[in-house]
Amino acid sequence: MEHETTQTHAHGSVKSYVTGFALSIVLTIIPIVLVLSHALAGKPLIVTIVLLAVLQFLIQLFFFMHVREGEQPRYNVMALILGCVIVFTIVAGSMWIMSFNAAVQ
């Protein structure tokens, strides 16, 4: 049961939420425009999209997830490390596993 239903400990301000939201939207629109307008292609396109994704990941962590706040940042750090390990496994694992496709074709 939430004892503090009246929200005594505010998480972030309206301003930080709006900034985070606006930045996320912009970082999502850029890749869409890049793809639709064929401004970039191939490797450069992929690298740009990945970079923008990582940037958005960081923005969400700081503006929405409040990684720096909370009484016990230890839990935060542990969760973050595990999360990063798993994200790394998903991405690197998939690339490793699917690379056979390139070899086959």
Partner 1 sequence: MLTKLKDFASTFFVTGDPLIYGADVAIVLTTIAIVFVLTYFKKWTWLWKEWLTSVDHKKIGIMYLIASLLMLFRGGVDALLMRTQLALPNIQFLQADHYNEIFTTHGTIMILFMAMPMMFALFNIVVPLQLGARDVAYPFLNALSFWLFFFGAMLFNLSFVIGGSPDAGWLSYPPLSEMSHSPGVGENFYIWGIQISGIGSLATGINFLVTILKMRAPGMKLMNMPLFSWSVLSTSVMIIFAFPILTITLALLFVDRFLGAHFFTMTAGGNPMMYVNLIWMWGHPEVYIVVIPAFGIYSEIVSTFSKKKIFGYKSMVFSMMIISVLSFFTWVHHFFTMGAGADVNTFFAISTMAIGIPTGVKIFNWLFTMFRGRIQLKQPMLWTLAFIPCFVVGGATGVMLAVAPADYQYHNSYFLIAHFHQVLIGGVVFGYLAGIYYWWPKMFGFKLDEKLGKWAFWTWNIGFYVCFMPQYALGFMGMTRRVYTYGWDMGWAPLNLVSSIGAFLMGIGFIFQVWQISYSIKYGERDTTGDPWNARTLEWSIPSPAPMYNFATVPHVSEQDAWWAEKQAREAGKRAAAAPALEPIHMPKNSGIPIIMAAFWFVAGFGFVFSWIWMAVAGLLGVAACLLARSFQYDTDYYIPVDEIKRTEASFGRGI
Options 18, 47, 54, 94; binder of partner 1; rule CB under 8 A: 94
* By CB under 8 A, residue 100 contacts partner 1: yes
Alpha helix ranges (H) inside 37-105 = 42-63, 73-104
Options 2, 9, 10, 13; binder of partner 1; rule CB under 8 A: 2
Q: How far apart are CA 96 and CA 105, in angstroms?
A: 16
* By CB under 8 A, residue 97 contacts partner 1: yes
What's the angle, vertex CA 64, arms to CA 63 and CA 68, rounded to 5? Answer: 65
User: Interface residues with partner 1 (CB under 8 A)?
Assistant: 1-3, 5-6, 75, 82-83, 86, 89-90, 93-94, 96-98, 100-101, 103
